[in-house]
Amino acid sequence: PGRDLPEITCQETSDALSLAAQHLNDLDVVVFPTETVYGLGALALNAEASAKIFATKGRPADNPLIVHVSSFAMLQSLLPKDYKICPAYQALMKHFWPGALTLLFPRDSNVIPSIITAGQSSVAVRMPSHPVARALIAKTNGPLAAPSANTSGKPSPTKAAHVLRDLDGKVPLILDGGACDVGLESTVVDGLHEDGNIRVLRPGGITVEDIERVLELELSEDKEDGKSVLPKVLVHKRDYRDEAMEQAPTTPGMKYRHYSPSVPVTLLHTSTQPPVGQHALSASTFISTLPSTIGAKSRVGVLAPADSKFWECIELEDGVEWHKYTLGTIAEPAVAAQRLFDGLLTLEHEGVDLIIIEEILEEREGLAVMNRVRKAAGESRWINYETCE
């Protein structure tokens, strides 16, 4: 419900899954829905199949892939025999699996091909909750490596139509499971360090606040024995000065330019202070100069919360053609997460000349949203709403 699911029968669903599993077992790639974004899957334990993922996406070989499992038994089969899962991971898996959380585990080099981990000594594993993803993994009877199903550098697809526009002719089959509920990639967490702390390498669908709440809930009893302490949750932006973070602050993937449509994107700061030497323009000044800076009658896409003042400010400016896409209300960062990539891809498809995104608060899902927005944006501008009220 609410996901724009295609109308097909159980038999057709079953046939589609069988066909997809057949392609996978023939060492080909297949696109499938997950609750976060669409994935480009191949057999994770087969180096030849996994190599096709890199070729199809144009993905750099030093960016490792996430391995997707459909059961705990499947997870166990990937891990080194003597490895014991730590209490923090157990708590996180209990609350967030299946779901938008990826955990790093030690890599068993006899099981996981090196192409998957790009030479890292760890392997990233996730158990998705989307029924089509679970069914496909189970039917294939093996873990699937799957990055987001987009050409490297582009926004991740959250609808089958996005994938078709980007990868048509490059993949044999796309399973359409409707629009993704979460809309942003999973949170990537590293709990493998000696200090026992939990490092958030990539913010995503599971919020830092939820991770902290669950660790507190599940592990605080242990505090009483005096020796074990609650692990800290280290996040790149927030704990930048934390020495422990300086080693490996983000995933290998995060160093690449990412999430950019083929259209220039401007990030509009409305609540943070401009850097020294720059000053904030009034919203109306910024808006009124657009026709001359990008050209009269240009098409300008706007991504902003439904209750943003920006919408009122553009009412009077008809020197450009506005294309509006709302991101839920200011109080709903989860809606912004769900709609961000669809918004970027929809406006790109509408042929706009510029996309303007208004910043949202970096709380809860807002942290992951702003992480993606910063990477999508080629430039930042600072405005205030003083003259629009």
Sites of contact with Mg ion (CB under 5 A): 147-148
Contact of residue 65 among ligand TXA, Mg ion, none (CB under 5-8 Å per partner type)? ligand TXA
DSSP for residue 225: G
* Interface positions, 78-107, toward ligand TXA (CB under 6 A): 102, 104
Work out whether 24 is an interface residue with ligand TXA (CB under 6 A). Answer: no
Q: How many residues does the chain have?
A: 389
Give the Cα separation of 70 and 17 in Å (integer). 15
Stretch that binds ligand TXA, among 169-177, 184-192, 226-234, 266-274 (CB under 6 A): 184-192
Stretch that binds ligand TXA, among 58-66, 239-247, 260-268, 295-303 (CB under 6 A): 58-66
- Of the listed pieces 210-218, 250-258, 262-270, 355-363, which binds ligand TXA according to CB under 6 A? 250-258
* CB nearer to ligand TXA: pick between 118 and 219: 118
Work out what residue 352 binds among Mg ion, ligand TXA, none; the CB cut-off runs from 5 to 8 Å by kind: none
Partners of 103 in the beta sheet?
A: 125, 189
Q: By rule CB under 6 A, what count of residues binds ligand TXA?
A: 28
| Residue corresponding to tokens 């205030």 | 384
**36 in Cβ contact with 204 (< 8 Å):** yes
**Please, what is the angle between helix 87-96 and helix 208-219, to 10°?**
120
Q: Left if phi > 0, otherwise alpha if psi is -120 to 50, otherwise beta: which for 169?
A: left
What minimum distance in Å lies between the beta carbon of 210 and Mg ion? 22
96 vs 341 by CB, closer to Mg ion: 341
Toward ligand TXA, which CB reaches closer, 162 or 323? Answer: 162
CB of 59 to Mg ion, least distance (A): 8
Sequence-distant (6+) residues with CB within 8 A of 228 are 219, 222
63 lies in the site for ligand TXA, by CB under 6 A: yes
Find tokens 């899962």 and name the residue.
85
Among 50, 70, 148, 270, binds ligand TXA (CB under 6 A): 148
| Integer Cα distance of 211 and 206 in angstroms | 7
> Beta 265-269 vs 379-384: how paired, if at all?
parallel
- Distant-in-sequence, close-in-space partners of 134: CB < 8 Å, separation ≥ 6: 70, 98, 128
Contact residues for ligand TXA (CB under 6 A)? 34, 36-37, 39, 63-66, 102, 104, 117, 120, 122-124, 126, 146-148, 185-186, 188, 201-202, 251-254
